[in-house]
Amino acid sequence: MALSEQSNQLIAHPSIWQRLRARLSVLFASKTAVIGLVIVLFWVFVAIFAPLLTPYSPTAQDYKAQNSAPSATHILGTDDLGRDLWSRLIYGARVVLIILPIGEHFWLPIGTAIWGGFLGLLVGTTLGLMGAYLGGGLDEVVMRFLDAMMAFPVILLYMIIIAAVGASATNVVLAIAIVGTPGIARLVRSLALDIRTRDYIRAAEIRGENPFYIMFVEILPNARGPIVIDAMLRVGYAIFAMGTLGFLGLGLPPPSADWGSMVAAGRRYILSGSPWAALWPALAIATLVVGLNLLADGLREETLRYQ
């Protein structure tokens, strides 16, 4: 009898490893998600171990090897200043995924695109929950303001923000967070409007729980599936936005290894027979964004299948 009760408790309260195994089984059940995961992990790996994967500095210039083709010395070639493209590519991945440079000698862990997506997720989730659960005038004012933001073309909104605050890694994070907030808020609000009608929300209200407890402990965990998948997609959008801003000269300031800036600088030499400086960063942006989209799409398919 004791063994039966113990086994029932294990089933009712699975361990951390059991929950992790269940989530990984959902991930590996989708070939699409696995392909996306492999692509993302490749870029995470080269970003983490960038100093060990190249002997060159991303800013070191060699005027004797300008716009050189791929070779044994420079496996992806060099740009117009003789900088090694492989070094600049993998150090650019560090800025996107692993570190957030702040000033000249200080940085934060986790990359620029992820910080931007996380801050947008934090603010958008809070606004969406408050609008859906508290309702009334607060919901009307917040949603109309966010609708007005969504009326602007995304690129124009990015340009307005960066032009107002200046081009830097922290300001790019700020711009990504601001632009991403309205879409996240509307998604969370639509999910919360449905969940707030459930019986367990009524039970929490009868118990006299604080509204913020109900929003963040009762409603949010039950909406996390679509929110997590949307967050993955928005990190991909953030990476694409970083590339776009860099291409327009509004990204990370030089000599940072910014993928968008690399494409903008390299496109001038495509017709002269040196497409490498534009080709490799463009492929890097495309593969990383596609990998995140495949991962999110695969997880969404498997999640819907098990519902």
Give the DSSP per-residue string, 90-127: HHHHIIIIIEEEETTTEEEES-HHHHHHHHHHHHHHHH
Lowest-pLDDT range, 1-10, 61-70, 190-199?
1-10
Q: Taking 70 as the threshold, does the pLDDT of residue 260 lie above it? A: yes
- Element holding 130 (H helix, E strand): helix 112-134
Residue type, 204: A
Q: Taking 90 as the threshold, does the pLDDT of residue 46 lie above it? A: yes
pLDDT score recorded for residue 297: 86
Local confidence band at 10 (pLDDT 50, 70, 90 cut-offs): very low
pLDDT score recorded for residue 128: 93
What are residue 101's DSSP bridge partners?
A: 107
Residue type, 148: A
The whole-number average pLDDT for the span 257-278 is 89
The whole-number average pLDDT for the span 251-258 is 81
Residue type, 171: N
pLDDT averaged over every residue in the chain? 85
pLDDT in tens, 126-145: 999 999 998 888 889 989 99
Q: Taking 90 as the threshold, does the pLDDT of residue 121 lie above it? A: yes
- What is the pTM (predicted TM-score) of this model? 0.84
The whole-number average pLDDT for the span 232-258 is 85
**Do 305 and 57 form a contact (C-beta atoms < 8 A)?**
no
Domains of the chain in start order, with CATH, are 23-305 (1.10.3720.10)
Measured distance CA(102)–CA(258) in Å, rounded: 15
Q: Taking 80 as the threshold, does the pLDDT of residue 301 lie above it? A: no
pLDDT score recorded for residue 255: 77
